[in-house]
Every structure is written in C-alpha cells, then in structure tokens.
Structure 1
Amino acid sequence: MIGLEKSVTGAQKSAILMMALGEDNCARLFEQMHEEEIREISAAMSQLGMVSAETVESVCHEFSRSLGSSEVLIGDIETTERLLKNTLPAGRAAAIMEEIRGPAGRTMWDKLGNVSEAVLANYLKNEYPQTVAVILSRIKAAHSAKVLALLPEEFSLDVMTRMLKMENVQKGVLHSVEQTLRSEFVSNLPRGSHRDSHEVLADIFNNFDRRLEARFMTALDERSHDDAERIKGLMFTFEELAQVPVEGLMVLLNQIARESLPIALKGASEKLRSAFLAAMSERAGRILIDEVEALGPVRVKDVDAAQSDILLVAKVLLDRGEIELLDQEQAANEMLV
C-alpha cells in the first residue's frame, strides 16, 4: 500500500488525483494532455496498487483541493484501461495499454525481433557487453541465439556472463539504451518485467544448433560451472517430450507440421519414438516408422531444425497449459499403465 511514509513521485500524485476525481473528470483531463503525459500518468496509474486514504487526502491538499477521502484507491491495469478507453480513440488507447503491459503486446522488443540478426549483430558488436546483455535479455530467445552466434565468440561469452549477473537495470542505463534504440531501430521501449537470467539464457541455448550449444556451454562451464549446470537444468530438450502424457502428445501432433516429425525422430531415442507412437493410431504409427526408415542419412542440421520447430510449438502449448510435462518417474509410471 502506498502511504504517507513512502515517497510519491509526481506521476503517481497525478494518477492518484485523477482517480480520486472519478472517471468522467479523469477523462476530461486526459483530453487536455499531450500523449507523452498520458503515457507517463497511465503507466504510474497501472502500478499504484492500493493507496491509503491519508495519501489520497495529502495529494489532494497539495493540489489545493478541498477534497477528503474515507476510502482507499486501487490502481491496476483494468482500471487504467477502462479510463483510457473512455477518454481516447480506441486505437490510441490500445497502443498505450500495449506499451504498459510490456512484452505481451506489440512492443519495442517485438519490433526489434523483426530486425535482421545480421544487422542487429553488426550494430551490437560495437556496443559495450553490458548494453548488449540488456538488449538480448529482452528480445525473443530464438533471435538472441542467432545474434550471439554471429558475434565474436569471446564477446558472446562476455555478454552471457553479464546476463547471468544482471539484476534490475538502473533507470539511467535503461533510459540510455531506450534513446539509442528508439533513434536507430524502433520506438516505444517498454519497461518489461525482469526475468531470471538463467531462464533467459536457457531459452537462448534451446535455440542454438547442437554445435553452437556444445561450444558455448563448454566455454561457459569453464568460466562458471554452477551457472552452466543451472542453465542445463532449465533447458527444454526434444527428448523431454517423452515426459509429456499421451493426451498431450496428441494435442502436439495436431499442431505441428506433419513433415517435420519423421526428420525430428530420426535423431531421437527409441523411448521418445515409442512415446509418439503411443499417441497415434496403429496405422498412423506404421506410416511414421516407414517414413523415418525411408529417409536414409539426414544432416544433423536438418534434424536440429525439425526438432526446434516442434519444440517451439510445444513451449507455446506448455505456456498455455494445454499440455504438461511430467517428471521422469511420473512419465515412466504412465507408460506402464
């Protein structure tokens, strides 16, 4: 709860006052503001949480208002979105809310992901490793993996080491990165939530091909064995799909490109092949086995690409809760049933 004992910023005071005035008055005030002001106040409003009655009264008195309050206010995403929709054109309100929400919407980092990895790597190679670490920790892991693969190996390792040690980025540093990226790539840098650095790098390693994964993991292990082991434990590998229940694999099979599966299974264990066959009809299973055997020698690069495509779909389904990943003991018991 925001109380009198806590320092309240100017943007927070404005947000508190506008919420105290009610939605209609708030809408009229928004109409008189520039978009940058609306963005700043909206961002503050969405993060207020619960505000004590004493603080509301203090803020109102500070604005020379004879206004008291016996109730608390709660500033959250839903309230902010409702106020903006009642005030601004739909498109403008949606754009501001997308920025406030951060990486879930069409944000700076989504747009940065559309920049060619070669162009981005060429730009980043001249930046400080810490700056690169900030940027790569916020864009999609698949894109980060491609960028790191194009950077000098020693530089990439330095960046990954800094990502592991990185905590919440100081406002001044983030502002500097924001200004540079806005002028050279896209605009509207959001202040996204901070992810665990080991999880970020685990996602990136998942998107390396096997050669790069092995090389970087070995080098990282030499620098910090504990960090390397933790990243390994967080990585989601193709073989772990054997721990998805039959029902989940059936869902996955309906979502993936059919032509990817035989190639992906060419480099898989018998355990994983059996898991997929158990999720298919007998006829479909026979066809799959024939397709795998008919492939002949397949390049490791092609197997990696097919497995990566399937893993990306599986991760989306896992995030949505449409499939689950059992531990090894649970998966083994299910296969016995």
Structure 2
Amino acid sequence: MILSGVQRAAVVLLSLGEEQAAEVLKHMGAKEVQKLGLAMTSVGGISREAVAGVFDEFVDVLAQPSALGAGADDYIRAVLTQALGEDRASSLIDRILAGRNTSGLDSLKWMEPRAIADLVRNEHPQIIAIVMSHLDPDQAAEVIKVLPERGRPDVLLRIATLDGIPPNALNELNDVMARQFAGSQNIKSSSIGGIKVAANILNFMDSGQDEAILGGIGEIDGDLGGKIRDLMFVFDNLADLDDRAIQTVLRDVPSDKLAVALRGAEPRVREKITGNMSQRAAEILIEDMEARGPVRLAEVEAAQKEILAAVRKMADDGTIQLAAKAEAFV
C-alpha cells in the first residue's frame, strides 16, 4: 500500500493517541483537519511494518538541520512554493513569515456559511468581498448563495478587482471581526482577491446563480465580466482536457454518475469521454444513458457538480493539469 503525504501524517497522528493528536490538530486550519480526518479513516488496515516505515521517514525529516533552526524561513518558503506553486503559496508565506495575524478571518472557516452571511450581511460590500476572498472558494460560494440576491454581483465585482488590501480596509475588517472574535491590532496589508478568486467562487455557485451574477457584473463592467467567465471551469470544459487527464478522471468517477452528468453535456464532451474509453466501456455507458429515460435537470446538475469537484481536487493535488481556460485552478 503506497501512502500519500496526508495518509502518512494521519498514521503519525493515530499513533500519538487522542490527547496528543488533538493538540496537533488545534494548530491546523479547517481544511487540513478535514483532509486528515478522511485520511485517518483510510489507513485502518495498515501493517505494523508500514507504520514503522512512516515513523522512520518522519524521524529522518526531523533530523534534517534545514527543517529546524537556522535557515527555517528559507526552508518554509521553498517547501511551500514547491508544494503549492508561486501564486497559491505567496499569501500563506506572507502570513507565516511576515507575522500577519488573520486569526479572526481564519476562525470563519470553521463557521457554517449561513452564520458567516449573518455576520457580514449588513456590512459594506467591500468588507464582504475581503471576507469572501479569504475563504475557500466552495465555502465563499455557499455564503454568497444566502446573501441578498441584488448585492451578489457587486460583491463578486469587488472580489475580482481587489488588488491588495490597504491597512485602513483591514482595520475596518478587524472591527467587524472583533464583534465575533478577538483580533490583533497589528494590521499589515495583504494580497487576496482578484479575477481568479472570483472565478473560483462562481464555479461553486448553483447553475443559474452564476449566470445571474455574471450578468450583473457585465452590466457594470463588461470587460471584467468576460475575463471572469474565461477563467471559469464548467462541465463542458472537460472537452478541453488532454487525454491523459480525462483517463485519470474516468478512473475516479463512478459510471452511474457519468451517465447522468453527460445527459446535459455538449456532444464534444461526450465524444471526449467515450473516445478515452474502450469500445465496450463506451457502449455500456451509452446503453446506460439510453436506458435511464428522462432525468430531472437537478439530478444532471448535481452529478456534474460532483464530477467537477473531483476534477478540481485532482487539479489542486497536482494529479492532473487543467486546460488553459481553467487557469484559475492551476
């Protein structure tokens, strides 16, 4: 059994015991805890020899002088950049190495979307945009869904046009967060937001809501709306993936979900999918689609969203690379 990095970390935590593992998890973000929790459920049958191998590797890493002590800043910067890429690592590096305190904002990642919406509902759209930019795209999308419909385009427009946050804006945001969380007054400027962030958030919106918001943005700034649309990755963009990526996706997607999702896809997507299957597998898929008869639109959209979530996860993990149009996820 070949363990991923997250699974190896899960093995270490499971071996520590409940109290020690809990202390480690306290220092992690919501997404990291979720990933580790899932990984813990997948390593239950691991052998003693595999556990010993994980700990040998763990001890070797700790023994490396570059990982601790002198030169730690350079080591952290190099590791994060290599793991996440320059763009995605930059803001995280800033917070770690420049001492940026975003504890109030980070605490939001543990809250339900509706609770976050209630917290910011009456704030200025610029403040809402900054908060949404800090959240993960799927969580931000859920928050925006429950915000007043008339204000959604303005929020996304402001997210797309964020180009760094001046200290006075962060001071104002800190005042907002202080009503719910204790925050630091040591405020420095930060670089979040932008067209890619807006596109990522819209990708997680329900069908129809994304178009309504894009339409509102287009009325205000047609050029910006076009740029956001160009960076969005939707189900029909699967046809733009290379064959190797499609084959990787097909290994991970249940055939029943695929049969439903393809009912609402463009012909070129169907051709791309079936062209990367064996002839017999393609025939079975087509037969399955025909045998199902009429399928509700909501079921088709739900299946497409599930497949897109799997594709985005693969892109985030570096398993596949999305096409140029999907640059927002690379």
TM-score (norm 2): 0.62
Residue 113 of structure 1, aligned match among 109, 123, 130: 109
Q: Distance in 2 between matches of 1:198 and 1:79?
A: 27
Q: Which moved more, 1:225-234 or 1:260-269?
A: 260-269
Q: Distance in 2 between matches of 1:318 and 1:275?
A: 19
Q: Deviations over 1:149-169 (max 9, x none)?
A: 211122222222222332211
Residue 130 of structure 1, aligned match among 126, 129, 138: 126
Bigger radius of gyration among the two: 1
Q: Which moved more, 1:161-170 or 1:227-236?
A: 161-170
Residue 278 of structure 2, aligned match among 277, 281, 296: 281
After superposition, where does 1:56-95 map in structure 2 within 5 Å?
76-78=73-75
After superposition, where does 1:215-234 map in structure 2 within 5 Å?
215-234=212-231
1:154 corresponds to 2:158:
no
Residue 292 of structure 1, aligned match among 286, 289, 304: 289
Match of 2:232 in 1: 235
SS in 1 for 2:239: helix
Match of 2:310 in 1: 313
Residue 181 of structure 1, aligned match among 159, 177, 180: 177
Residues 306 and 193 (structure 1), Cα distance of their counterparts in 2 relative to 1, 3 Å cut: farther
Maintained 8 Å contact 1:134/1:163: yes
SS in 2 for 1:253: helix
Q: Deviations over 1:124-183 (max 9, x none)?
A: 112121111100011111222222121112222222222233221123432443464366
Q: Distance in 2 between matches of 1:327 and 1:133?
A: 26
Task: Name stretches of at least 5 consecutive residues in structure 2 with no aligned partner.
Answer: 1-69, 79-91, 326-330
Residue 145 of structure 1, aligned match among 123, 141, 147: 141
SS in 1 for 2:134: coil
Q: Distance in 2 between matches of 1:134 and 1:199?
A: 14
Percent identity over the alignment is 28
Q: Deviations over 1:251-302 (max 9, x none)?
A: 1122234432111111012211121112222222222112222222222222
Residues 99 and 275 (structure 1), Cα distance of their counterparts in 2 relative to 1, 3 Å cut: same
Shift of 1:101: 7.2
Q: Distance in 2 between matches of 1:288 and 1:80?
A: 46
Residues 154 and 97 (structure 1), Cα distance of their counterparts in 2 relative to 1, 3 Å cut: closer
Residues 258 and 226 (structure 1), Cα distance of their counterparts in 2 relative to 1, 3 Å cut: same
Q: Deviations over 1:203-227 (max 9, x none)?
A: 1111122211221111211111011
1:263 corresponds to 2:260:
yes
Residues 282 and 116 (structure 1), Cα distance of their counterparts in 2 relative to 1, 3 Å cut: same
Q: Distance in 1 between matches of 2:93 and 2:221?
A: 40
Residues 228 and 274 (structure 1), Cα distance of their counterparts in 2 relative to 1, 3 Å cut: same
Shift of 1:305: 2.0
Maintained 8 Å contact 1:111/1:186: no
Q: Deviations over 1:97-117 (max 9, x none)?
A: 996179xxxx87665234222
Residues 179 and 275 (structure 1), Cα distance of their counterparts in 2 relative to 1, 3 Å cut: same
Q: Distance in 1 between matches of 2:323 and 2:271?
A: 16
Task: Name stretches of at least 5 consecutive residues in structure 1 with no aligned partner.
Answer: 1-72, 82-95, 329-337
Residues 192 and 237 (structure 1), Cα distance of their counterparts in 2 relative to 1, 3 Å cut: farther
SS in 2 for 1:210: coil
Maintained 8 Å contact 2:260/2:300: yes
Q: Which moved more, 1:174-183 or 1:186-195?
A: 186-195
Output the aligned Cα RMSD.
Answer: 3.6
Residues 180 and 325 (structure 1), Cα distance of their counterparts in 2 relative to 1, 3 Å cut: closer
Structure 2 letter corresponding to 1:229:
G
Structure 1 letter corresponding to 2:129:
A
Structure 1 letter corresponding to 2:286:
I
Q: Distance in 2 between matches of 1:264 and 1:121?
A: 31
Q: Distance in 2 between matches of 1:267 and 1:127?
A: 38
* Matched length: 240
TM-score (norm 1): 0.61
SS in 2 for 1:297: coil
Residues 192 and 252 (structure 1), Cα distance of their counterparts in 2 relative to 1, 3 Å cut: farther
